[in-house]
Amino acid sequence: MYSSKVSSLTRLNQSTHLFRRSFFNQTYINGQWVSSQSGETFKVYNPSNGKEIGSVPNCNNQDADKAIQAAYDTFHNKWSIKTGKERSVIMRKFNDLILKNKDHLAKILTTEMGKPVKEAAGEIVYGASYIEWFAEEAKRIHGDVLPSATVNRRSFVIRQPVGVCGFITPWNFPSSMILRKAGPALAAGCTIVIKPAEDTPYSCLALCDLAKEAGFPDGTINVLTSTRSAEIGKFLCEHPLISKMSFTGSTEVGKKIMAMCASTVKKISLELGGNAPFLVFNSADVKQAVQGAMASKFRASGQTCVCANRILVQDGIYDEFIAEFTKKAKEQTVGDGLDEKTILGPVINQDQYERIIDFVADARDKGAKIITGGKEKKGKNSGFFIEPTIIADVKLSMRVAQEEIFGPVASIIKFKTEEEAIKIANSVDVGLAAYLYSQDLSQVWRVAERLQTGMVGINEGLISSVEAPFGGVKQSGFGREGSKYGMEDYVNMKYICMGNLKDVDRTS
């Protein structure tokens, strides 16, 4: 049952009695740990040292069909027919198990993704909060009684689960992105088929082990580990038994998902690329702004869809901001995420590593000033490390001002007026998150309302929470995850009309 390549990681297995295994070398379909039907596997590597962690099944469409059929049968015969309270009880147990195993799950996450273990533990708690929140919401999927225009008719609206849901999730938050989607889906009564990122399958599989212990019926949660992302994605999108797709990833892939889902007119949620502007006005508290920029820009080594990507600083405080920002950036310790001293871990893989280095080279060649960092920082065992980098005097023609960097590189753009800042902020075709720092209350309201994004942080660099709706506008997608609005993407509204009722005699 174990991969022969994971002996160096058996320490994780010994750290807690709650897990039978840490790094599962089989996938999870219909409540069973199984190999791919073809017998194919693929290897997973630790980005901190390039070493192999283990191998998992390389599923194909035959495996996907098996998973979908299991989810479909369980939806109709077991999960959707439970009451909201019955689903809530199982979900709350799932939440408790996740929190009980927080540290163990964090080590698994760090080993395959690289982020510092303390940050990984924070992700586990954040992800679990969606299970807890929607466990409560499961009991509150309300309907309505509508007023009728005729005396012998009554009208109702009820909400019912959409059916089997397909999830395609990214590597940067391999636990919380799954749990954020699973929370409302499971609460509504849906079953799910998950295609996790090929770089980070182990976090997903570990959650399945806890879900089984929590008591979800076999077939409620199914996982397809695979390097065949395009093939599996197309199969899920076009399969007639899948009623909804939820995807987090690039805008380019999101457009393809949307097109493929059109063949069966599926319900879709898309959380796509971001290019977040971070506006710092002359009235801002500079140290507060720098603190927010550090938290937003360098969390997960800049590999988040809502991290500050274009830092716009007004000319009156430009030099002061750069000096303070540079000071803080130089204090960041880069290294293996399992080392408790590490603040910035590696980037996920070789392709991402080279892409980020190209961004820096493009800015340098076009006249930008590299204030700090910008160098390749090879780890002891050739891990994918990049120093925290600050680039000043950035022009709008540079790649770092136009594209999502997805790495520990901060591009600083100077502006003069509020109008100029808003124009630059809104100049891109995506709109997920934005941030602004100002002590001018009137300015705060003016700018926040004019920024073309789905979320705005005001004097705050970390804005995600289970109570708030997460999602974007423009080509950053549609649909919202979390909050009281999050359930709507996983239920259908059904109107029921009851007619020809006998009315009381109104003549007497």
Residue 480 belongs to some domain of the structure: no
Active site residue 252: no
Contact between 365 and 386 (Cβ < 8 Å): no
Residue 433 belongs to some domain of the structure: yes
**At residue 168, what are phi and psi to the nearest 5 degrees?**
-120, 115
Side chain identity, residue 309: N
Q: How many Cα atoms are found within 13 Å in the side-chain-facing hemisphere of 10?
A: 6
Pair 195, 50 in one domain: yes
Beta pairing, strands 308-314 & 267-271: unpaired
Res. 503 pLDDT band, cuts 50 70 90: confident
Query: What per-residue confidence (pLDDT) applies to 508?
Result: 56
Contact between 288 and 322 (Cβ < 8 Å): no
pLDDT at 90 over 80: yes
User: Please, which residues have CB within 8 angstroms of residue 417's CB and are 6 or more apart in sequence?
Assistant: none
Side chain identity, residue 302: G
Pair 225, 183 in one domain: yes
For the chain, how many helices (H) and strands (E)?
15, 22
Pair 280, 268 in one domain: no
Encode 19-32: b = buried (16+ Cβ within 10 Å), e = exposed.
bebbbbbbbbbbbe
Pair 215, 296 in one domain: no
pLDDT at 20 over 70: no
Each residue's pLDDT tens digit, 440-459: 999 999 999 999 999 999 99
Pair 152, 104 in one domain: yes
pLDDT at 1 over 60: no
Question: What CA–CA distance (Å, rounded) separates 61 from 354?
Answer: 32
Pair 268, 281 in one domain: no
Contact between 418 and 318 (Cβ < 8 Å): no
Last residue of a domain, one of 442, 458, 474: 458
pLDDT at 3 over 50: no
State the CATH number of the domain containing residue 336.
3.40.309.10
Pair 316, 184 in one domain: no
**How many domains in the chain?**
2
Residue 409 belongs to some domain of the structure: yes
Pair 306, 164 in one domain: no
**At residue 492, what are phi and psi to the nearest 5 degrees?**
-105, 145
E strand or H helix at 457: strand 455-458
pLDDT at 7 over 50: no
Dihedral sign (CA 299, 304, 310, 315): negative
Q: Burial, 505: exposed, middle or buried (Cβ in 10 Å; 0-12, 13-18, 19+)?
A: exposed
User: Please, which residues have CB within 8 angstroms of residue 483's CB and are 6 or more apart in sequence?
Assistant: 466, 467, 468, 469, 470
Each residue's pLDDT tens digit, 93-113: 999 999 999 999 999 999 999
Pair 449, 322 in one domain: yes
Residue 479 belongs to some domain of the structure: no
Each residue's pLDDT tens digit, 402-415: 999 999 999 999 99
Residue 500 belongs to some domain of the structure: no
Pair 258, 143 in one domain: yes
Question: What CA–CA distance (Å, rounded) separates 294 from 325?
Answer: 8
Pair 297, 245 in one domain: no
Residue 349 belongs to some domain of the structure: yes
Which H, E and C letters describe 61-89, residue by residue? HHHHHHHHHHHHHHHHHHHCCCCHHHHHH
Return mean pLDDT, the chain. 93
**High-pLDDT (> 90) share of the chain, %:** 92
Residue of 119, 123, 271, 481 marked catalytic: 271
Side chain identity, residue 482: G
- Domain coverage including residue 233: 4-272+486-493
Pair 352, 251 in one domain: no
The strand order across the sheet containing 433-437 reads 369-372, 389-392, 409-415, 308-314, 276-280, 433-437, 455-458
User: Please, which residues have CB within 8 angstroms of residue 286's CB and are 6 or more apart in sequence?
Assistant: 280, 317, 320, 321, 324
Residue 251 belongs to some domain of the structure: yes
Each residue's pLDDT tens digit, 298-353: 999 999 999 999 999 999 999 999 999 999 999 999 999 999 999 999 999 999 99
pTM of the model: 0.93
Query: What per-residue confidence (pLDDT) applies to 383?
Result: 86
Question: What CA–CA distance (Å, rounded) separates 50 from 48?
Answer: 6
- Specify the DSSP class assigned to residue 344: B
Residue 159 belongs to some domain of the structure: yes
State the CATH number of the domain containing residue 180.
3.40.605.10
Each residue's pLDDT tens digit, 139-158: 999 999 999 999 999 999 99
